[in-house]
């Protein structure tokens, strides 16, 4: 029996019931990641529910209870960071699996699969926002520029025009644009270098993390660059990619498997506390460390959900979370649009002066967004996603 080399693609046998992904033909399913997807989407949903169009609500919105709730939901935007880490992990793991089984990565098929996942619903929102929304009730013409959105450069348009435009549901597409930019760049690099070892992937991801940190450090005085610029954000996906190489080899993560429940809870407590105070404890150029710390924390959450034997919770075991995780793309893209319409509707009928109306608004928003996400997934997204099976190497 030959000795295992750190660069070999050797699959090790699972030591626990739910410790490895289930492999059936060409599909991989990681338990608890659907639940994490929904947690990330719901974090963003809560954050936006209490911030977008907040000016329509009466004086009750500045009362102590609502201020307290807004503080609790203020870290919801980190749900996007969680998405980025999760996306980098999953895509990298699939590419490593393809490289192990086929000896090479089919870049064309990789890009087509990403197109089938991201493009259809993205362009539904973009086309609606530019060409239909302005002519509907409560509609306005956006100052955003369509050509940037059509080329998946909406994050740059947000940097340029975001502060001058109240059309928030187009803003939500910025993260999709960054993912598409990263995947295209990633595919070109992989295709050019034709990597065969995990070590090559790790070097690439470490360079991305380092370069992204340097970019944030240099632009620390520009909040729009820090939050929306591709070079600032891609470290999250690179951290997810690094984690995928570790999980694929089972190297460097064994300590997580054996963590005790109280140790896991303590790390969660420290990580979540950091999300609340990051801007206070990282002034000036130190803000460059924010994504490095939060991305590492979310990488821990991911591997803990996958491998820890003594977790105090598993995301897929929370009722409906695993099922809801499949709906998160629509849940994420639709919610800002529904917030806009519901806020304007409540304001137009003067249902915006009492806390009870906001509670009603919140539950209508949650129900309508969930329903629209189900409809979108079943009758629009899923039929398109089924085409991905024709583009697997």
DSSP 8-state assignment for residue 310: S
Instruction: State both tokens at 216.
Output: 């944030």
Tally the residues of the chain: 393
Instruction: State both tokens at 159.
Output: 């940097």
* CB environment 45-78: b (16+ within 10 A), e (fewer): bbbbbbebbeebbeeebeeeebeeebeebebbeb
Distance CA 128, CA 379 (A): 18
Q: How many CB atoms lie within 10 A of CB 218?
A: 13
Q: Are 252 and 307 in contact (CB under 8 A)?
A: no
pLDDT tens for each residue of 81-134: 999 999 999 999 999 999 888 888 889 999 999 999 999 999 999 999 999 999
Q: Are 371 and 55 in contact (CB under 8 A)?
A: no
CA atoms within 13 A on the CB side of 279: 9
Cα torsion 115, 120, 125, 126 to 10°: value is: 60
pLDDT band, very low/low/confident/very high, at 252 (cuts 50, 70, 90) = confident
Q: Which residue has the higher pLDDT, 359 or 5?
A: 359
pLDDT tens for each residue of 186-197: 888 888 888 888
Position 250 scores a pLDDT of 79
Position 7 scores a pLDDT of 43
CA–CA distance from 289 to each of 155, 180, 227, 279, 281 (Å)? 21, 24, 13, 10, 10
Distance CA 288, CA 213 (A): 6
DSSP 8-state assignment for residue 239: H
Rounded to two decimals, the pTM is 0.91
CA atoms within 13 A on the CB side of 256: 21
Domain residue spans of the chain = 24-49+75-344+359-391
Distance CA 303, CA 288 (A): 24
Distance CA 238, CA 227 (A): 16
pLDDT tens for each residue of 312-343: 999 999 999 999 999 999 999 999 999 999 99
pLDDT tens for each residue of 292-304: 999 999 999 999 9
């Amino acid at each position: 029996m030959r000795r295992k080399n750190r660069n070999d693609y050797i699959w090790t046998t699972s030591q626990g019931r739910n410790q490895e992904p289930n492999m059936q033909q060409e599909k991989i399913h990681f338990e608890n990641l659907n639940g994490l997807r929904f947690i990330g989407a719901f974090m963003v949903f809560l954050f936006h529910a209490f911030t977008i169009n907040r000016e329509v609500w009466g004086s009750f919105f500045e009362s102590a209870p609502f201020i307290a709730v807004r503080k609790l939901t203020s870290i919801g935007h980190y749900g996007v960071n969680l998405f980025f880490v999760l996306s980098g992990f999953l895509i990298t793991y699939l590419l490593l699996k393809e490289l192990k089984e086929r000896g090479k990565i089919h870049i064309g098929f990789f890009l087509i699969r990403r197109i089938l996942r991201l493009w259809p619903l993205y362009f539904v929102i973009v086309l609606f926002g530019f060409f239909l929304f302005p002519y509907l009730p409560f509609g306005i013409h956006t100052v955003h520029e369509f050509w940037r959105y059509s080329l998946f450069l909406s994050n740059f348009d947000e940097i340029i025009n975001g502060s001058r435009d109240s059309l928030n549901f187009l803003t939500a597409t910025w993260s999709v644009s960054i993912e598409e930019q990263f995947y295209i760049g990633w595919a070109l690099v992989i295709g050019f270098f034709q990597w065969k070892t995990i070590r090559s992937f790790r070097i690439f991801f470490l360079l991305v993390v380092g370069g992204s940190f340097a970019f944030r450090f240099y632009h620390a005085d520009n909040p729009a660059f820090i939050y929306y610029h591709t070079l600032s954000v891609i470290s999250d996906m690179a951290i997810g990619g690094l984690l995928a190489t570790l999980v694929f080899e089972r190297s460097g993560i064994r300590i997580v498997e054996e963590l005790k429940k109280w140790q896991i809870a303590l790390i969660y407590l420290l990580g979540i506390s950091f999300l609340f105070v990051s801007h206070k404890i990282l002034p000036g150029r130190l803000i460059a460390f924010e994504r490095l710390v939060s991305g590492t924390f979310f990488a821990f959450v991911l591997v803990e959900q996958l491998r820890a034997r003594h977790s105090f919770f598993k995301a897929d075991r929370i009722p409906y979370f695993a099922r809801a995780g499949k709906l998160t793309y629509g849940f994420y893209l639709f919610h800002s649009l529904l917030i806009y319409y519901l806020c304007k509707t409540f304001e137009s009928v003067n249902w915006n002066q009492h806390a009870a109306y906001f509670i009603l608004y919140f539950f209508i928003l949650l129900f309508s967004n969930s329903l629209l996400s189900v409809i979108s997934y079943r009758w629009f997204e899923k039929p398109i996603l089924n085409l991905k099976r024709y583009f697997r190497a």
